[in-house]
Amino acid sequence: MPAGTVRRLQVREDLSTAASPARRWLWAVQGLVTLAVVAFVARSIARNWTEFRSLHVTLHVAPAWIAASVLVVLVTYGMQIESWRRILAGWGQRIAFGPAARTWSLANLGRYVPGKVWSVAGLVVLAQRAGVQPGPAAASAFVIQAVSLGSGVAVVAAAAPHSAPPLRLALAGVAAVATILVLVWRPTARWLGRLVNAIAPLEPLTLSAVLAATVLTVLSWGTYGAALWMLARGLIPDAALPLPTAVGAFTLGYILGLLALFAPGGVGVRELVLIGLLAPFLGSGGAVALSVASRVLLTVTEAAAALMTLPLRQRPQESVE
């Protein structure tokens, strides 16, 4: 069996069978988040049960706004792909944008498979096939999740509608700085190396790589929220939905859906969070319609991105040396 195949099988086995204390802590945190999400959803439904039973909304489709929303989502994918490339570059790994887009888009579909591990495993295997070394390929899958969560918390803190502006900025800054410092810390690199059973010890990520990835991810949360705001305009023309609220609501729904163990792709969790946060602005009927439409739009664009990038394989001259 070729050495490259052996390494891929080893990484896949490590991801599925490792039972280190650190991983058990991760599962414990995810379990607590899952319970918090269930409590939040139950409270939201109970509080608005009478209104939910009598939902009514009139939709007026505006194709231009919906097309703009789709375009912004595709731009968001591009920023997330580039964020992942910057992380890999921090470990000296080079992958062209086309093959990176193919790898990221195909692996992204694994989020809809129950278990929360398939998108990570898919990213690792596909990245190695594109020429990325096994250790950085596996570690990058965890780092991009950490960057997404840390920057997402910062965005939610900054967009929280009930906080004073100085407090918002302080909380957002603390979350962002903490994420960056943790990822460039040498013990974090050692921990990641043990987590993925890297053959060679991982060096700490460069500060420039983490900064670039964090900035791109923060921008992607903003464009995701802008896409949701545009979609609202495309379905409910008189929607009184502030853009910061759309950004904060989408980001919170996305990261809670990411952490919820029981929800492949965050299905159900993200929608219920959006309904609870957007109902005061759109009414319950409008919030339900927008949350469902957002799920449909994102599912279609994710599938379309995978199809569009499928032919973009790594050429031999682009392989990592």
90 phi and psi angles, rounded to 5 deg: -65, -20
Return the higher-pLDDT residue of 143 and 232. 232
Cα–Cα distance between 142 and 271 in angstroms, integer? 25
The amino acid sitting at 192 is L
The residue whose two tokens read 């990835």 is 213
pLDDT tens per residue, range 159-191? 765 554 556 556 656 666 666 666 666 676 666
- Please state, as a whole number, how many other Cβ atoms lie within 10 Å of the Cβ of residue 35: 12
Highest average pLDDT, of 40-44, 50-54, 96-100, 107-111, comes from 96-100
* pTM: predicted TM-score of the whole model, two decimal places: 0.76
pLDDT of residue 72: 97
The residue whose two tokens read 């392989």 is 319
Cα–Cα distance between 136 and 90 in angstroms, integer? 9
Alpha-carbon distance values, 244 to 1, 8, 229, 240 (Å)? 53, 42, 9, 12
Of 117, 118, 139, whose CA–CA distance to 128 is shortest? Answer: 139
Q: 194: number of CA atoms within 13 Å, CB side?
A: 10
**Encoded tokens for 122:** 């898919």
